[in-house]
Amino acid sequence: MSRNNIWAHLAIALVLVLVAAFAGQIANWRRNLTPVKQSSSSQETSAASDQSEESNGDDQRDDHKAEVLVRFRAGVTQDAIEKIAQKLNDEIEDRIEAIDGLDVIEDENGKAAESVVAQYRALPEVEYAEANSEIKLDHEDAGRKHVHADDELFFRQWGLFNSGQNGGRAGADISAMRAWAVTTGSDKTVVAVLDSGVDYTHPDLANNIWTRPPIIKAYQDDDLTSDGPIDDVHGFNLVEDNGDPMDDNGHGTHCAGIIGAEGGNGLGVAGVNWNVKIMPLKFMDENGLGTTKDAIEAINYVIDRKRAGVNVRIISASWGSTIKSRALEDVIRKAGEEGILFVAAAGNSSSDNDRAPHYPASYDLGNVISVAAVNRSDQLASFSNFGAKSVHVAAPGEEILSTWLEHDFRELKGTSMATPFVSGVAALILSQNPNLPLSDLRAKLLKSVDPIPSLKGKVSSGGRINAAKAVGAE
């Protein structure tokens, strides 16, 4: 190649490099000039699944109408409520049958939720009004008689049996094997998992999924569907208002497995209960997003099923936020009046719930138990909320292996995982005494702990739950 040709090729290469660099700079300019879409939430708080985030709904997305929860005063008839809504050009989306006068109202005028709330609060007929909030899941990412589970992954479930594996402390567990020598649970006990649904086809869960008995009529809620009864064969889906609570997020399936993965079947993991019935309630979508309104409607469903004859005695709730809802508090209180225990995650913000309450775990109600998380060495988990008065008990919550989507298994951490341990122990107690009054069930749980030095001054019971003590095995 001649010297002239060499210089010509070098010149061409230089031009190509400059063109590419200039094109890249133009792309950068375009990216920098692209407007950033603002979040639809005006307020977000770290919470539990446990950890959850909840928006107060002040700023509504253009494609969503504002929804508010309004409780009218005693004596205001439903006809009067409908006239008030019509006058304000609003629509009554749903009536919460369990709570007199509590309605979900949808704005038809394009107003922000807080404007609608203020409008209703100003009415003399209204006891309270609040915006429907958004909730987001964000999990972190000795000689005595006993029964050993033969499930293939049981040796990894340190929360049930801790031999000191993977650097843990031997005995830092819920003493499940000694409890199983007394009871492995009962299919007469129903636990509602209020979450993202449950994969009811999972081979380690399928036999323990609740199925509506033929003698129980299908669920009827004319406000949610105009197509007649909801065929709630396995529970309720509040995201789509139908009877298919299939999990497409994974969180609910994980929590369900801790409570009641089938034990002794040689497969996967063992739940705290080998035998139990899990009622899936889906109020969070595939992204872990849900609303206070849908949580209320799900609890309203549980109350209805309890009144219809279903022995549902426990609601397990692995979510929450720092936003207090009087409507949610009302429906949880009503569940307690129906004999239903409400077990809730304390939260994953490493904060003191006595000073900064975390709901629903911080509602001061006789049927609520708030649960903190400990690690495999019986130390309070670094992420776990605590509270000497408002958090009641602790349970395993780090590196917890349980059921997952696509018939798989996965480890997660959070007070979300600690909560179903306590729900599971409550179900073991009820397997021995199905008619045990709610107050006695709660008292027995809070007394059935191992005192742990790291929990002194952190939870009111001062201890981590012990299943063997709960069922009288020690």
Query: What is the Cα 229 distance to its own chain's centre?
Result: 26
Supply the residues annotated as catalytic. Answer: 195, 251, 416
pLDDT score for 32: 34
pLDDT score for 144: 54
Nearest to 377 by CA among 169, 170, 174: 169
Q: What dihedral angle (degrees, nearest 10) is formed by the CA atoms of 424, 430, 434, 440?
A: -120
pLDDT score for 55: 35
For residue 255, give every residue at least 6 positions away whose Cβ sits within 8 Å of its Cβ, in sequence order, or none: 193, 195, 316, 318, 402, 416, 417, 419, 420
Nearest to 321 by CA among 277, 351, 301: 351
Tell me the chain's radius of gyration from C-alpha atoms. 26
Q: What dihedral angle (degrees, nearest 10) is formed by the CA atoms of 207, 252, 426, 392?
A: 170
pLDDT score for 141: 52
pLDDT score for 35: 32
pLDDT score for 146: 76
At residue 14, the 3 state secondary structure works out as: helix
CB 268 within 8 A of CB 204: yes
The number of beta carbons lying within 10 Å of the beta carbon of residue 436 is 16
Beta bridge partners of 279: 192
Q: How far is CA 362 from CA 266, 345, 366, 423, 439, in A?
A: 39, 9, 11, 17, 18
Beta bridge partners of 275: 185
Rounded to whole angstroms, the Cα distance separating 435 from 431 reads: 9
Q: Which two tokens stand for residue 471?
A: 């069922």
As to burial, measured by CB atoms within 10 angstroms (0-12 exposed, 13-18 middle, 19+ buried), residue 15 is exposed
As to burial, measured by CB atoms within 10 angstroms (0-12 exposed, 13-18 middle, 19+ buried), residue 153 is middle
Nearest to 420 by CA among 349, 341, 336: 341
Q: How far is CA 339 from CA 177, 211, 236, 416, 442, in A?
A: 28, 21, 20, 23, 11
Type of residue numbered 378:
D
DSSP annotation of 186 reads E
DSSP annotation of 83 reads H
pLDDT score for 316: 98
pLDDT score for 18: 46
Nearest to 347 by CA among 252, 414, 422, 258: 414
Whether omega for the bond prior to residue 360 falls within 30 degrees of 0, making it cis, is yes
pLDDT, block means (10 residues), the chain with 474 residues: 47 46 40 30 33 37 76 96 95 94 94 94 96 72 67 96 95 97 98 98 98 96 84 96 96 98 97 98 93 97 98 97 95 98 97 97 98 98 98 98 98 97 98 97 98 97 98 91
For residue 1, give every residue at least 6 positions away whose Cβ sits within 8 Å of its Cβ, in sequence order, or none: none
Find the angle CA(100)-CA(104)-CA(110) to the nearest 5 degrees: 150
End-to-end CA distance of the chain: 93
